Structure 1
């Protein structure tokens, strides 16, 4: 109990203000999870879940004693979403370890054009649908930005679980909107971390793109079925 009390109350002085320790630790776990994801390691998922638990208590600031200047329901809700999708990703990557080889958990691949269109449609439609809900819950404005980061995070995490290389680009779209939102809401540790994520996700995209090219070269061209319908 003493440890939990310390964890929930601890802050790191920075200049004339302070950072919530849980926010810093949560983002460190998140960064470690992203690094593991880039290397396609199964441990990326449980490490990420630990970070999500910490950040959930941060973004629900008013619920946990106003630990931060604003409550972001989208940011808080996506931590729960992260954990739910992470369980799926953890299972999927665990099952695929013996297929990927080289100590990796999955072989990166490109999504089909149909899937890409579906992802874009889900991003736009989900943002439009969630904005009035988050607004009613009192999320920090602009509320659409909170909804955008929620939907983008959901789709990116699902894409990572499926092994689609494009999921890194979805994270870039999330960071472009999420970083200014976090700065204006006073979540400086998360804002700086997301700013770093923006560059990290671009690097991750190129790493996965090279891996997908190698996998395609090893697999060779797909056979064409004789008499297949066109």
Structure 2
């Protein structure tokens, strides 16, 4: 086995459980990206992309022969989505930083944008649940909630909407039990840790939003 392949398949053994190091590292990058997002620094996006690439191989467990041997198409698919939306967010924050010196200025979404977020969550969950069920995903309805919420939260972060942190909290509330049930214990634990950072991030952005602009900004 080559050193690179050995590193890719490296595991931690805790009792009878086998855990991939790349699952731990990928989630660690996710937490680092959340901290970067809270601090409104551009490097949050490329760090998150690196974690997404690692976690894609983890959640396509049957394809990459992980200890769980399960394909969570929603979890894996959202890693691809994260990479796509993160490129958009990275570009937006770079453009803003060059124009104003600030990568992003937190603000409330407009009423129209909030209604679109709610509608997107409802429609997206129904549509993606049907798709995930047809392709044999593990837990299609929770997967659809997590997938749709992740799309909306990442897009909200790119736009600078303070509400995106609240969407992440909703994703974590469903994601932690689902990951525990599927046997992805490091991801579940790190989701809990990530949830704490999300609450902290929301508090930081809320303070900036109140200081800078108390009213929702029209699109």
Range of TM-score over shorter length: over 0.9
**156, 159, 167: which is aligned to 1:159?**
156
Query: Could you tell me the TM-score, scaled by structure 2's length?
Result: 0.94
Q: Which residue of 2 aligns with 1:147?
A: 144
Query: Could you tell me the TM-score, scaled by structure 1's length?
Result: 0.89
Tell me which stretches of 4 or more aligned residues in structure 1 moved more than 3 Å. 98-101
Higher-Rg structure is 1
Q: Write the distance in 2 (CA, Å) between the matches of 1:49 and 1:58.
A: 14
Q: Offset at 1:127?
A: 0.4
Higher relative contact order (CA 8 A, sep 6+): 2
Aligned residues: 216
Q: Given that residues 29 and 48 in structure 2 are in contact (C-alpha distance below 8 angstroms), is that contact kept between their aligned partners in structure 1?
A: yes
- Tell me, which stretches of 5 or more residues in structure 2 are unaligned? none
Q: Write the distance in 2 (CA, Å) between the matches of 1:183 and 1:175.
A: 12
Q: Given that residues 100 and 107 in structure 1 are in contact (C-alpha distance below 8 angstroms), is that contact kept between their aligned partners in structure 2?
A: no
- Tell me, which stretches of 5 or more residues in structure 1 are unaligned? 223-230
RMSD of aligned alpha carbons = 1.7
Q: Given that residues 42 and 93 in structure 1 are in contact (C-alpha distance below 8 angstroms), is that contact kept between their aligned partners in structure 2?
A: yes
**130, 133, 150: which is aligned to 2:131?**
133
Q: Write the distance in 2 (CA, Å) between the matches of 1:124 and 1:171.
A: 16
Q: Write the distance in 1 (CA, Å) between the matches of 2:2 and 2:211.
A: 51
Q: Which moved more, 1:129-138 or 1:58-67?
A: 58-67
1:13 partner SS: strand
Q: Offset at 1:99?
A: 4.6
1:124 equivalenced with 2:131 (yes/no): no
Q: Which residue of 1 aligns with 2:168?
A: 171
Q: Offset at 1:67?
A: 4.0
